[in-house]
Structure formats: structure tokens, C-alpha cells
Amino acid sequence: MSPHESSNFSAQMDICLQKLQELERCTSQLHFTNQFKDWLKSLSVCLALVQTAVSQPHNQLYRGKVGLCVSQVIKVLTLFRSLLCSPPCRQTVWYLSERLRWCVSELRRVLSGAGTEQDRDGAGSVSFLRQVDHALQQLNHSDLEGWKQIVDDMVCQAISVAKIASSIDYNEITSVCHRLLDESNQLACESDQRQVTLLKDSLAACLSSLEQRVNTAVLRLLLQVFSEPNGPVKRLVRCCGQALHTQRRTDLDSLVTELDAHIERIILVGQFAVSCCEDKGKVAAMRCCMASLESVDNYLVPAITAFYLTPDCVNKRAFVKFLCDHWQHQLTSLQSHLDSIIDSYAFSQVVQDSMEVLSKDLKGESDAVLEASQIIVRHGWLLYKHLSRSSDVSVASDVLDELK
């Protein structure tokens, strides 16, 4: 952009942000509606300037970040639309305004020449599967320069999955990682060509094993998360208004910890899927869902806690309901996108293995039988929904036939 265009771009963005502040201060439905229309006109001007700016050669590397911000603006606008039909809840308006403020500010920063390496397309999303493929290719060369860095990066990603996976997956992944590191150290010190060949063969098998175990761990996390996607949130909200004693913030600590772990699993599964998916449209859609979920996450626990402490407050109840509804909708959308890209055969095997383990509990105590039965039903229903939405119709049909 020319100096004049750059100055105009920044000025229009500032005007948009100023009008957003004015929107937050509205107290009546009529005032809010009129101010919202005024802000939309300003936003329209800004988006036209964004479209021009992003087409410039020096901004091509930021198309992903710009696309994410614009998709978030569109998503928030649809949420704002619902507020035009009823008196706006000030907390909801403030929350949505904060999301829009972040989007407009980020667009202004990135397209004004202040973009960083982290803002560029592909930053921080190196696929674990591509790393394994690259490592296998590297083993075919006599020159293993950079091998240690490749292995370190793979182990780092694998351990990040193992840390929040089940104890079985953790032990399996860390065991393979130790073996991979040990044999890599041996390879670096080995000079006998026959031993080098044997070590390379062993490392190739180790890499394949690590890839399989990490993939399985991620699928198990997906199964765990989406068998009861809204469970942790519902359990938190259910506590509000049911306390038989004086409410304290610490009453919710255990449920908040459960929700934090749940969100961490969701984000890891989503990020893993994004890094492995080649379809740019699906990647953009999943990133938008995860950005929305992370945004809600920043407000959900404080909002529920505030409602728990003052359960008679109508505005706090309305804000919690708004956040929970948005959370559920975005989680459902993310699940739909994941269903379209995951391997149906591999996922079916993970579900089957889970059911075989759970079926052993059906012969235990009555409470264990009930819990195991409920989980089996949820897992089966999740598999059925996945196969119904799978992009590979032939694979889904084959799996359903085998299950009959």
C-alpha cells in the first residue's frame, strides 16, 4: 500500500473500533439497533480495504490469519443479529464486542506491516505425519545431517499428545520415544556399515510404530471428548442454584479442572487434524471453530462462577446460557468437520477396542455395570454418527455392514 492508502486503512480501522466502543455503551434496544447499523457501515468500508490490502504481494503470506479474522467477524455478526430481537444483555454485548475488537485490531496490525512469523500461513502447524514421512525419507540418504533435530521435533509432538492421553497410550508412546532416541544416538556413533543398515531398518520400524501409536491416541482422545462433548459444561451449570450452603468459588474447583482437561483434549485433537488435513477449506473451518471455542473458554468459567455465586441474577443467567449455546454449536460444527477427514476404519477399531474393555465391567458391581453400559451406548452412538457423516461413503458402508 502507498503511504496514503496505509494511512487511510489505519484511520478507517480506528473509526471502526471507536464505533464499536459506542455500541457497547447502548442502553436501549432502539439505540443499540441504530448504533449497530452505523457500525456495520464502518465495518463494510474496513472489509473492502482489507480485501485490497491482502491482495498485495507482501501480504500474501498472511492470507490464513486474515481469513481467520474475517471468518470470526462473520460468526460474531450472526450472534449479534440475535440481540437485535430482544433487549441486549450487556455482558453478551461486551463479550461479542471484545471478539470483534480483537479481529479488527489483528487485521489492522497484520496488514499495516506489523505481521510476525507466527502470523504467517503454516506457522506452528507442522504435521506430525509429515515429520514421520520426512524422517523415513531421510533414512534412505547416506547423509543424516539434521537427523537429531527431526527426531527431537517428532518426540516433542508425540509427548505433547501422550501427556493428555490415557495412561496406556502415555506408556506406549513414551516407550517408543525412548527407543527412537536411544537408537538415534547409536546411529550417530556407529561407523560399521552393516550396523548402520540394521539401525536404519530398526529406526524405520520404530517410526512406523510411533506414528501408529500417536494416531491411535488421538483417536481415543476424540472418542473420549465427543462421546460426551457437553458433559463437563452441563455438570458445572447444574451446580448453579442447587447449593444447600453458602456458595464459595472453591465449590466448583473439581468441575473446573475437569472442564479445563476436556478443553485441552478438544484443542489438541483439533490442532492435530488441522496440521494433517490438506483441504484448505476444511482447515479454515476447523480453525474458526477452535478460535470460537477458545474465545468462549476465556469467559465460560468466570461467567458460570459468577452465576453460581448469585443464581438469582437474570443477566448472569442469560450470559451463561448464551455462552453454553454458542459453545455447543461450535463443538458440534468441529465434530462434523472432524468426521469428514478421520479414517473411518481406524476410528471403528478404536471404538471396538474400547467396547471390548468396557464389556468386562458388565460382570462387576451394579454401579460399574450401569456406568459401563452408558459409555458403551455413547461410544456406539458416536461411531454411528461418524459413519453417517463420513466423506468416504464406501468405507462407512463396509464398516456398518461389518457391525450388523
Task: Tell me whether residue 385 is in a domain.
Answer: yes
Residues 338-396: pLDDT tens digits? 998 998 889 888 988 888 877 776 666 666 666 777 777 888 778 877 877 765 655 55
Task: Give the confidence band of 233 by pLDDT, cuts at 50, 70, 90.
Answer: very high
Cell numbers linked to 357: 474393555
Q: Which of 280, 279, 387, 288 is nearest to 333 (CA)?
A: 288
Task: Tell me whether residue 294 is in a domain.
Answer: no
For the chain, what is the domain count? 3
- Mean pLDDT, residues 28-33: 82
- Asked whether 64 and 55 are in contact (CB, 8 A), the reply is no
What pLDDT was estimated at residue 353? 86
Instruction: Quickly count: other Cβ atoms within 10 Å of residue 62's Cβ.
Output: 21
- Mark whether 74 and 132 lie in a shared domain: no
Task: Tell me whether residue 111 is in a domain.
Answer: yes
What pLDDT was estimated at residue 365? 60
- Asked whether 165 and 214 are in contact (CB, 8 A), the reply is no
Cell numbers linked to 153: 521435533
Residues 89-120: pLDDT tens digits? 888 989 999 999 999 999 999 888 887 878 78
Of 15-24, 25-34, 243-252, 282-291, minimum mean pLDDT range: 243-252
Query: 102, 119, 136 — which closes off a domain?
Result: 119
Task: Give the confidence band of 191 by pLDDT, cuts at 50, 70, 90.
Answer: confident
- Mark whether 82 and 148 lie in a shared domain: no
- DSSP result, 250-269: GGGHHHHHHHHHHHHHHHHH
Report the percent of the chain where pLDDT is more than 90. Answer: 49
Residues 63-91: pLDDT tens digits? 989 999 999 999 999 998 877 777 668 88
Task: Tell me whether residue 191 is in a domain.
Answer: yes
What pLDDT was estimated at residue 73? 95
- Mark whether 97 and 135 lie in a shared domain: no
Instruction: Quickly count: other Cβ atoms within 10 Å of residue 354's Cβ.
Output: 20
Task: Tell me whether residue 236 is in a domain.
Answer: no
Instruction: Quickly count: other Cβ atoms within 10 Å of residue 192's Cβ.
Output: 9
Q: Report the distance separating Cα 254 and Cα 260, nearest Å.
A: 10
The reply to whether the predicted model has a pTM over 0.85 is yes
- Mark whether 112 and 137 lie in a shared domain: no
Query: 71, 94, 119 — which closes off a domain?
Result: 119
- 109 by Cβ neighbours in 10 Å (0-12 / 13-18 / 19+) ranks as middle
Is the pLDDT at 334 greater than 70? The verdict is yes
Task: Give the confidence band of 183 by pLDDT, cuts at 50, 70, 90.
Answer: very high
Comparing 33 with 47, the larger pLDDT belongs to 47
Is the pLDDT at 402 greater than 70? The verdict is no
* Averaged pLDDT score across all residues of the chain: 86
- Mark whether 101 and 157 lie in a shared domain: no
Contacts of 59 (CB under 8 A, 6+ apart): 53, 66, 110, 111, 115
What pLDDT was estimated at residue 107? 92
- Mark whether 44 and 92 lie in a shared domain: yes
- Mark whether 26 and 95 lie in a shared domain: yes
What pLDDT was estimated at residue 364? 61
Query: 216, 234, 258 — which closes off a domain?
Result: 216
What pLDDT was estimated at residue 368? 64
- Asked whether 336 and 387 are in contact (CB, 8 A), the reply is no
- Mark whether 98 and 206 lie in a shared domain: no
Of 50-59, 122-131, 369-378, 390-399, minimum mean pLDDT range: 390-399
Task: Tell me whether residue 328 is in a domain.
Answer: no
- Mark whether 11 and 104 lie in a shared domain: yes
- Domain of residue 391, residue span: 343-403
Cell numbers linked to 217: 491416541
Task: Tell me whether residue 193 is in a domain.
Answer: yes
Is the pLDDT at 124 greater than 90? The verdict is no
What pLDDT was estimated at residue 369? 66
Residues 142-157: pLDDT tens digits? 777 788 888 999 999 9
